[in-house]
Amino acid sequence: MSRQPKQPVNINGIEFDALIDQSIEYSAQVPEYPTEKGFTVSDTIILENDSLSMTLYVTDTPVTWKNRFGGGYGRVEQVVKQLEELYLAREPVTITTSDAVYTEMAIVSYTISKSADTGYAREIPISFQKIVRTEAKTVTIPSSYGKSGTTGALAGTASTTTETTSAGTSSSSSSSETETGGSILYNAGKSIGLL
């Protein structure tokens, strides 16, 4: 016998009558080419963003949460409209179920369909994907790396930003003080005879 959940599923405060099914997908990209024995492979295994899929149920005549929702015509259309507005807002959502809270999730897809089996109620398959956030950091280049180019200016600072895309891959960009003929590090290496 299944136990009664403590609270209805809700997405940013939009509550549903029942959770029909739910699945969470964890996936990773692994190296396609052989890795030499003795080397760590954890850096080459890229964890992809978690995915959450659910089928939610909403009706004008709730049974499970009747005391909470009441009953009456128009509730289904109201929930469908709120869900559409949430999707079009393109903002992260928080999903609360009876056993977990999922934050920083984006609505990837959902379907609203009518059928003879459900009548005025709606079964709503909906999928989410976790959004991974990063932050920018500026660091000072130590003076032990030498001075810049022929002017002998201090090495300065470098600003780096790492971004994670929805596919889970990462890319880096950096900017630093430059001088005609190359970057600070290139010129420093050249001035002390490394290049």
In this prediction, residue 31 carries a pLDDT of 77
Q: How many angstroms separate the CA atoms of 80 and 122, rounded?
A: 9
Please count the structural domains in the chain: 2
* One domain, residues 149 and 110: no
Mean pLDDT of the 127-147 span: 80
* One domain, residues 94 and 153: no
In a domain, 149, yes or no: yes
In this prediction, residue 169 carries a pLDDT of 44
In the numeric block, which tokens belong to residue 5? 């959940």
Q: What is the 3-state secondary structure (H, E, C) of 134-185?
A: CCCEEEECCHHHCCECCCCECCCEEEEEEEECCCCCEEEEEEECEECCEEHH
Q: How many angstroms separate the CA atoms of 141 and 113, rounded?
A: 58
Which among 130, 148, 172 is the end of a domain?
A: 130
In a domain, 3, yes or no: no
Measure CA 133 to chain center.
7
In this prediction, residue 7 carries a pLDDT of 76
- 67 vs 94: which has the higher pLDDT: 94
Burial class (CB in 10 A: 0-12, 13-18, 19+), 126: buried
Question: Which residues sit opposite 46 in a β-bridge?
Answer: 29
In this prediction, residue 175 carries a pLDDT of 42
Q: Are 40 and 103 in contact (CB under 8 A)?
A: no
Domain CATH code at residue 113: 2.40.30
Least confident of 77-86, 103-112, 125-134, 153-162: 153-162
| Residue 154 scores a pLDDT above 80 | no
- 2 vs 184: which has the higher pLDDT: 184
From 103, 14, 4, select the one nearest 50 (Cα to Cα). 103
From 33, 29, 34, 32, select the one nearest 45 (Cα to Cα). 29
In this prediction, residue 173 carries a pLDDT of 44
In this prediction, residue 56 carries a pLDDT of 93
In a domain, 156, yes or no: yes
Q: What is the pTM of this model?
A: 0.61
Q: What is the mean pLDDT of the chain?
A: 78
* One domain, residues 123 and 143: no
Q: Which domain does 169 fall in, by range?
A: 137-191
